[in-house]
Amino acid sequence: MMFLKRLISLFALLFLLFSIGWIPASAPVFAQSRTNRWDPPQNISKAGESLNPILGADANGDLHVFWADLRSGVYYAYTTPDGWSAPKKASFPISREVMNSTLAFQHANPRLVRSIGTRMYLFWKDENFLVFNIGNVGSAEKLTSWMPTRLIARFVTHYDVQVDSDGIIHLAYLQVEDYANNPAGIYYTRSLDFGGNWSLPILILPSIYFRSLLPVIQAGIEPPQPIMNSLDLSIAQHGEQKIIYLAFDQQPRKKVWIAQSDNGGQDWNTPIEIDAASSSGGISSPENIHVASMQEHAVLVWQVRQSETVCFTYFKQSDDAGKTWSASQRLNTPFLTCADHIEFLENPDNLPLLSFYTQKLLYFTTWDGRNWSEIFNEPYALSFMDPETSNGVSLNLFNLTSIHPGKIALTGVDINANHDIWVRSANVEDISSWLPQNPGWKPSQIIQTTDNSISDLQIIEDQQKHWHAFWLQDEILELPPGTLVRPQPQRIAYYAFLDGTRWSFPIAMFKPLASSDASQRIEEQIARLKVTVDAENRFLALWQNQIGGEVFFSWSKGKESLSALDWSPPTLVYPIPNEATDFSIKTSPEHSIKVAYTIPINENRGVYIIESKDSGKTWTKPVPVINGVSLGWETVSKPVLTFTTDGGLHLSAINQSLREGNPDKGLYETHSYDQGNSWTTPEKVSSNLILWNTLLAYGNTLHRIWAEREPGDNRAVLLHQTSQDSGRTWGKVTRITEWNDPSVAVQATTDEAGQVHLIVLSTQPLGNDTLRYMVWTLAGWDEMDTLDFGVIGKTSQEIPLDIKVRKDGFAGFLIGLKLYNPQQNRDVMTLLGSDRTVEIPPVPVLPTSIPETPVLPSPTPTSTPSPTKVSEPTFTPHLQSTTAPPAMSISTPFSSSSLFLIGGVFSGLVFLTVLGFVGFRYLKKKRSFYH
Return the higher-pLDDT residue of 911 and 676. Answer: 676
pLDDT tens for residues 410-448?
999 999 878 999 999 999 998 998 988 778 888 888 898
From the centroid of its chain, how far is CA 343? Answer: 22
Task: Output the DSSP codes for 900-930.
Answer: HHHHHHHHHHHHHHHHHHHHHHHHHHHHHHH
Distance, CA of 414 to CA of 423 (rounded, Å): 11
The mean predicted confidence, pLDDT, of the chain is: 84
Distance, CA of 924 to CA of 491 (rounded, Å): 88
Distance, CA of 74 to CA of 68 (rounded, Å): 4
**884: pLDDT strictly greater than 50:** no
Return the higher-pLDDT residue of 563 and 871. Answer: 563
Distance, CA of 565 to CA of 511 (rounded, Å): 12
What average pLDDT does range 117-125 have in this prediction? 96
User: What one-character DSSP code corresponds to residue 621?
Assistant: P
pLDDT tens for residues 367-377?
999 889 989 99
Task: Write a three-state SS string for 531-568.
Answer: EEECCCCEEEEEEECCCCCCEEEEEEECCCCCCHHHEC
CA distances from 291 to 257, 270, 789, 852, 865 (A): 10, 17, 20, 65, 67
Which of these ranges, 191-205, 303-317, 426-440, 844-858, has the smallest mean pLDDT? 844-858
User: What one-character DSSP code corresponds to residue 215?
Assistant: -
What average pLDDT does range 777-800 have in this prediction? 85
Q: Which pLDDT band holds residue 590 (cuts at 50, 70, 90)?
A: confident
Q: Are 829 and 451 in contact (CB under 8 A)?
A: yes
Residues 6+ apart with CB under 8 A from 271: 204, 205, 257, 258, 259
User: What one-character DSSP code corresponds to residue 208?
Assistant: G
Q: Are 531 and 541 in contact (CB under 8 A)?
A: yes
Q: What are phi and psi of 208, to 5 degrees?
A: -70, -15
Q: Where are the beta strands (DSSP E) in 854-897?
A: 879-884
Which of these ranges, 126-130, 355-359, 575-579, 823-827, has the smallest mean pLDDT? 823-827
The pLDDT value recorded for residue 906 is 47
The pLDDT value recorded for residue 525 is 78
pLDDT tens for residues 265-292?
999 999 999 999 875 555 678 999 999 9
Distance, CA of 639 to CA of 312 (rounded, Å): 41
The pLDDT value recorded for residue 490 is 80
Q: Which pLDDT band holds residue 209 (cuts at 50, 70, 90)?
A: very high
Distance, CA of 130 to CA of 173 (rounded, Å): 9
The pLDDT value recorded for residue 919 is 53
Q: Which three-class secondary structure state does DSSP give residue 463?
A: coil
Distance, CA of 383 to CA of 873 (rounded, Å): 68
From the centroid of its chain, how far is CA 401? Answer: 30
Q: Tell me the residue length of the chain.
A: 931
**910: pLDDT strictly greater than 70:** no
The pLDDT value recorded for residue 5 is 45
Residues 6+ apart with CB under 8 A from 492: 472, 473, 475, 477, 508, 509, 510, 511, 512, 525, 526
pLDDT tens for residues 761-786?
988 777 778 899 999 999 999 999 88
Q: Which three-class secondary structure state does DSSP give residue 357?
A: strand
Of 339, 324, 136, 347, whose CA–CA distance to 236 is shortest?
A: 347
**516: pLDDT strictly greater than 80:** no
Task: Output the DSSP codes for 723-783.
Answer: ESSTTSS---EEEEEEE--S---EEEEE-TTS-EEEEEEEE-TTS-EEEEEEEEETTEEEE
Percent of the chain scoring above 90 in pLDDT: 60
Alpha carbons within 13 A on the beta-carbon side of 643: 19
pLDDT tens for residues 679-727?
999 999 999 989 999 999 999 999 999 999 877 777 889 999 999 999 9
**807: pLDDT strictly greater than 50:** yes
Distance, CA of 363 to CA of 206 (rounded, Å): 35
Q: Which pLDDT band holds residue 486 (cuts at 50, 70, 90)?
A: low
Return the higher-pLDDT residue of 519 and 825. Answer: 825
Q: Where are the beta strands (DSSP E) in 618-663?
A: 623-627, 635-643, 649-656
The H-or-E segment that residue 381 falls in is helix 379-382
Q: Which pLDDT band holds residue 656 (cuts at 50, 70, 90)?
A: confident
Q: For the range 923-928, what are the long-range contacts, defined as Cβ-Cβ under 8 Å and sequence gap of 24 or more? A: none
Q: Which three-class secondary structure state does DSSP give residue 432?
A: helix
Distance, CA of 16 to CA of 923 (rounded, Å): 25
Distance, CA of 524 to CA of 513 (rounded, Å): 8
The pLDDT value recorded for residue 846 is 63
CA distances from 666 to 516, 627, 661, 745, 870 (A): 37, 15, 11, 19, 20
Q: Which pLDDT band holds residue 733 (cuts at 50, 70, 90)?
A: very high
Q: Where are the alpha helices (DSSP H) in 601-704?
A: 628-631
**588: pLDDT strictly greater than 70:** yes
Return the higher-pLDDT residue of 744 and 35. Answer: 744
Sheet holding 150-154, edge to edge: 111-114, 119-126, 129-136, 150-154
Q: Are 271 and 204 in contact (CB under 8 A)?
A: yes
Distance, CA of 424 to CA of 403 (rounded, Å): 11
The residues that bridge with 758 in the sheet, in sequence order, are 748, 774
Q: Which three-class secondary structure state does DSSP give residue 526?
A: coil
Distance, CA of 585 to CA of 121 (rounded, Å): 69
The pLDDT value recorded for residue 479 is 60
Query: CA-based Rg of the chain, rounded to a whole angstrom?
Result: 34
Residues 6+ apart with CB under 8 A from 860: 866, 868
Q: Are 556 and 566 in contact (CB under 8 A)?
A: yes
Of 289, 213, 227, whose CA–CA distance to 258 is shortest?
A: 289
- Orientation angle between helical segments 2-20 and 896-930, nearest 10 degrees: 170
The H-or-E segment that residue 151 falls in is strand 150-154
**561: pLDDT strictly greater than 90:** no
**198: pLDDT strictly greater than 80:** yes
Distance, CA of 501 to CA of 512 (rounded, Å): 31
What average pLDDT does range 824-839 have in this prediction? 88
**471: pLDDT strictly greater than 90:** yes
The pLDDT value recorded for residue 34 is 54
From the centroid of its chain, how far is CA 622? Answer: 45
Of 324, 355, 485, whose CA–CA distance to 833 is shortest?
A: 324
Q: Are 322 and 298 in contact (CB under 8 A)?
A: yes
**152: pLDDT strictly greater than 90:** yes
Task: Output the DSSP codes for 44-112.
Answer: SS-SSSEEEEEEEE-TTS-EEEEEEETTTEEEEEEEETTEEPPPEE---SS-HHHHT-HHHHHHH--EE
